[in-house]
Amino acid sequence: MTSEAWLPRITAIFRSYDLDGDGQLGRDDLIAYAGRIAENLTDPGDTRRRAALYDVYAELWTQLAAVSDTDRGGRISEQEFVAATARGAFDADPHFRDSTLRALDCLADALDRDGDGTIDPAEYERIFGATGLDRDTSALAFETVDADGDGRITRAELRAAAVHLYPLADPAWLTGDTAPAGGPRGIALVAHDTRKADLLAWTERRAAELGRHRLYGTGTTGTLINRKLGLPVIPLRSGPLGGDQQIGALVTSGDIDLLIFFYDPLSAHPHGDDVRALIRLAALANIPIALNAATADALIASVGAQIPGQSAAPVPASQASSDVSSEASVPA
């Protein structure tokens, strides 16, 4: 899909979310948007549908921010929103896919006032007032969305039209049963104090590949990577102050796909129990773990190979052997 085709639609979606018109999206905007939908599509006493809408749009904000809030300022500009769509970041992120599907289910549930599992023309007409999108959008006309022409819109047909409701460059992944194999991954970047310089050097060398993914960093490590390399890192607390446990929670929730932890095996750590718990959780969740530069190179290269159009930078043999020889092994 060319930018000429989707750009007006994406800006329209952004501006429909931006209810106060300040050119920035925040969590409060998505909550207000959920309120607008609830007001237009549900009865005042329908607490179940209303609560579901508020919950799902709060969740959707989290996924929008993770993908497009590149400066980690807690707000998303229209430029960031459009840029994330242009690089296919929303389409490729399985977490955003799941959130979008839940939002669509809530929207369909609110539209289906008689509860028969489908949406008739009168029920569907209310979608325009609820979303703020233009009634003249031909791709959202009832006759277009009702692909089989039976006079009812199913959830599957609504999903096919969802590219016009959410910031997607290509709706194909949304209508399938599974998310695509490639796409941005959640990568946790952690280092003990004596290894922060090593991790920073490795991150700088792999900045091109890492910039395609969703990065999480604990304490000083995340701040250094963001300030010195300009990579967007979702900040967490310092490891000894709970950052390792935050990473563990993200592993458990499925938000972390790779754990890169430059571990110091020669020093005692007052939060050693937290470190061991984190590694245990990652192992149980079958999350790949890199404790040194050589392993981190192998993991980021394997992830890069799964993303269409991305080729991981080859690691010179001399560099790889140097990395291996410079890293101490972790005791069992």
How far the first Cα of the chain sits from its last, in Å, is: 52
What are the residues whose beta carbons fall under 8 Å from the beta carbon of 279, sequence distance 6 or more? Answer: 259, 261, 289
166 CB neighbour count, 10 Å cutoff: 21
CB 246, CB 218: distance < 8 Å? yes
Paired with 233 in beta bridges are: 215
- Catalytic annotation, pick one of 69, 109, 244, 257: 244
Active site residue 136: no
Q: Encoding tokens for residue 53?
A: 């809408």
Residue tagged 């998310």 (tokens): 179
Cα–Cα dist 34/277, whole Å: 38
CB half-sphere exposure, 261, CA atoms < 13 A = 24
Q: Would you say the C-alpha torsion 69, 70, 71, 76 has a positive or negative sign?
A: negative
Closest CA to 98 of 36, 169, 154, 177: 177
Residue tagged 């922060």 (tokens): 196
User: Would residue 309 be called left, alpha or beta, if left means φ above 0 and alpha means ψ between -120 and 50 degrees?
Assistant: left
Taking CA atoms, 190 is separated from 224, 255, 264, 279, in Å, by 11, 15, 11, 12
Residue 153 per-residue DSSP state: B
Q: Which helix (H) or strand (E) holds 189?
A: strand 186-191
Enzyme catalytic residues: 244
